[in-house]
Chain A
């Protein structure tokens, strides 16, 4: 049995897979529901990938492992702005999108190859808020207010 640190989250969003895919990677969308951040990448296998904090720092960075729009995206992910998390090295994030009628089942798995991980604990707190806000944005046109800006207490 796999007992490595792992966070799994499933959410259903009334949208097309194409629209949701765009919302996951396009800065115009992510700035609205992902704490003001945006991602930079060429979105090709092997290409570098990073999340930018509005103040210019890099939040997380890694490399694209698999990309199959609008169904599957796998990337490596290392925290870059909190030294105690950065030293854990690379984790792995998988998004899986399945169109089901007029909604998409979005499954996210964030895992790391270590016996214990503060990174996975930290992202396990963050993902439900980010993905809840993404769902609100796509279904109602408005993200959740608390996720629209980088939190002031997060240095």
Chain B
């Protein structure tokens, strides 16, 4: 059995610069990533963090692997919540191609161990985040699905 790999392609009426900025800017990422945000100086080898609004001190961490604005960005990805901390880091690559007045964004996430919980989580998560990124860049407003908010409440609630 081959190891799982997640690939998602989405087309956005925008420019490569704007898409690249949205992927790397703390302020912009808050607008579409359901109040979560990215943090890094985006130098190769520097730490990367996805600060999770709903998991205090349980941010997703990683390291910048590639940064070639506005075409390519890659980082390692290591969640520390929901029983996923035991898995090693996986890898996310963003490829941005300009096609006329739109951008083709390809997200490839791989490097999972067999039976990976992270793979399951990101397979739900990326379509949600990237749909929101597109809405944000095209209409100025991101989206957050109710299931994501409900998960957040459960996680933040006193039961935990």
Residues of chain A at the chain B interface (Cβ within 8 Å)? 1, 9-14, 100-103, 105, 128-129, 132-133, 135-136, 139-140, 142, 144-146
Whether B134 and A135, one on each chain, are in contact in the complex, defined by CB atoms closer than 8 angstroms, is yes
Whether A100 and B146, one on each chain, are in contact in the complex, defined by CB atoms closer than 8 angstroms, is yes
Whether A12 and B10, one on each chain, are in contact in the complex, defined by CB atoms closer than 8 angstroms, is no
CB distance from B28 to the nearest CB of A (A): 18
Is B113 an interface position by the 8 A CB rule? no
Whether B11 and A100, one on each chain, are in contact in the complex, defined by CB atoms closer than 8 angstroms, is no
Whether B131 and A11, one on each chain, are in contact in the complex, defined by CB atoms closer than 8 angstroms, is yes
Whether A12 and B131, one on each chain, are in contact in the complex, defined by CB atoms closer than 8 angstroms, is yes
Whether A14 and B134, one on each chain, are in contact in the complex, defined by CB atoms closer than 8 angstroms, is no
CB distance from B64 to the nearest CB of A (A): 27
Extra pairs beyond A1-B1, A12-B131 (20, CB < 8 Å) = A9-B127, A11-B10, A14-B135, A14-B143, A100-B147, A101-B145, A101-B146, A128-B8, A128-B10, A129-B11, A132-B10, A132-B11, A132-B134, A133-B11, A136-B138, A139-B139, A140-B138, A145-B13, A145-B100, A145-B102
The complex places the Cα of A133 from the Cα of B99 at a distance, in Å, of 14
18 residue pairs bridging A and B, Cβ less than 8 Å apart? A9-B127, A11-B10, A11-B127, A12-B127, A12-B145, A14-B135, A100-B147, A103-B143, A129-B11, A132-B10, A132-B134, A136-B13, A136-B138, A140-B139, A144-B102, A145-B100, A145-B101, A146-B102
- B131 contacts which chain A residues (CB < 8 A)? 11-13, 135
Interface digits, B10-23 against A, CB 8 Å rule (1 contact, 0 not)?
A: 11110000000000
- A142 contacts which chain B residues (CB < 8 A)? 13
Nearest 3 A-B pairs (CB), nearest first?
A132-B11, A12-B131, A10-B127
Is B9 an interface position by the 8 A CB rule? yes
CB distance from A104 to the nearest CB of B (A): 10
- B13 contacts which chain A residues (CB < 8 A)? 136, 140, 142, 144-145
CB distance from B94 to the nearest CB of A (A): 15
The complex places the Cα of A132 from the Cα of B127 at a distance, in Å, of 12
The complex places the Cα of A44 from the Cα of B13 at a distance, in Å, of 35
The complex places the Cα of A102 from the Cα of B100 at a distance, in Å, of 31
A146-B100 CB under 8 A given contacts A11-B127, A105-B145, A136-B138: yes
Is B132 an interface position by the 8 A CB rule? yes
CB distance from A146 to the nearest CB of B (A): 6
The complex places the Cα of A146 from the Cα of B143 at a distance, in Å, of 25
A103-B138 CB under 8 A given contacts A11-B127, A132-B12, A146-B102: no
Name the residue on B nearest A139 (C-beta): B139
